[in-house]
Homo-oligomer: A and B are copies of this chain.
Amino acid sequence: MRPSKREPDEMRAVSFERGISKHAEGSCLVRFGDTHVLCTASLEERVPPWLRNSGKGWVTAEYGMLPRSTGDRMRREASSGKQGGRTLEIQRLIGRSLRAVIDLQALGERQITVDCDVIQADGGTRTAAITGGFIALSDCLSWMEARQMISRDKVLKDHVAAISCGISGGTPVLDLDYVEDSAAETDANFVMTGKGGIVEIQGTAESEPFSEEEFAALMGLARKGITRLVELQKLAIS
């Protein structure tokens, strides 16, 4: 039995609250149970130096945790003077994942920055950030289309969403919360598109190495979960 009483293949309640920011071109407060991430998409009419005069745009992401989003207060990264390795790793992952469904040529020479700030953490913040960041990004593209800047359907090639899986007490389970995550033998994050293509896989043995069979079980759970997340995304933006 999982600590949260969920079935092995049962995700937490997922919700998307759009338009949460007065200023951002797209925004979404995504909740995976008690994990709450505020995602905003900001459009700028400039691109990184290596894309100037290329005709191509860029989508990037930044990630942060509020100091008391966690059980114990963490030191504020702005105060410690640098972003930690985990932060940099996660924001690189979010950026790659979102770019996987964007036609940068069709976007034109503009940059969209998706900021994912964790308001409250209970495991799975990076997967919630990707899944909710997609909504903010999609709304930003709709905002642009409404201003005749782009054709949204040409820029946005597909949906993208992410979920964590793990082996906990010997059982493969979907969408780990913090308690489960801390004790899991194996932890894996999957990022997939609406059409079912795989964008990112990250699997880590936390205690003992895992087998190909175990990994296949995790992949199956992930596919199921991401299929459901994409349905929820579609409901949210329709």
Closest partner residue, chain B, to A73 (CB atom): B42
Q: A67, B115: Cβ atoms under 8 Å?
A: yes
| Chain B CB within 8 A of A193 CB | yes
Residues of B within 8 A of A71 (CB): 23
Q: How far is the CA of A84 from the CA of B84 in the complex (A)?
A: 10
Task: Name the residue in A23, A196, A212 with the highest tally of chain B Cβ atoms < 10 Å from its Cβ.
Answer: A23
| Secondary structure type dominating chain A contacts | mixed
Any chain B CB within 8 A of the CB of A113? yes
CA A200 – CA B120 in complex, angstroms?
A: 28
Stretch of A10-18, A75-83, A127-135 lying at the B interface: A75-83
The answer to whether B205 and A199 have CB atoms under 8 Å apart is: yes
Binds B, one of A51-59, A85-93, A145-153, A227-235: A85-93
Q: Does A21 sit within 8 A of B, measured CB to CB?
A: yes
Interface residue count for A (Cβ, 8 Å)? 63
Q: Across the interface, which residues of B come within 8 angstroms of A201, CB to CB?
A: 188, 201-203, 215
A155 to B: closest C-beta gap in Å: 16
**Chain B nearest Cβ from A18, distance in angstroms:** 15
Interface string of A18-61 (1 = CB under 8 A from B): 00011110010000001000101010100000000000000000
Q: Pick from B70, B78, B92, B100: contact of A82, CB below 8 A.
A: B78
| A-B contacts, 15 listed (Cβ < 8 Å) | A38-B66, A42-B68, A67-B115, A68-B115, A77-B78, A78-B82, A79-B83, A81-B82, A85-B88, A89-B92, A198-B209, A198-B212, A199-B204, A199-B209, A200-B205
A contact set with B: CB distance below 8 Å: 21-24, 27, 34, 38, 40, 42, 44, 62, 64, 66-71, 73, 76-79, 81-89, 91-92, 96, 100, 113, 115, 117, 119-120, 122, 188, 192-193, 195-205, 208-212, 215, 219
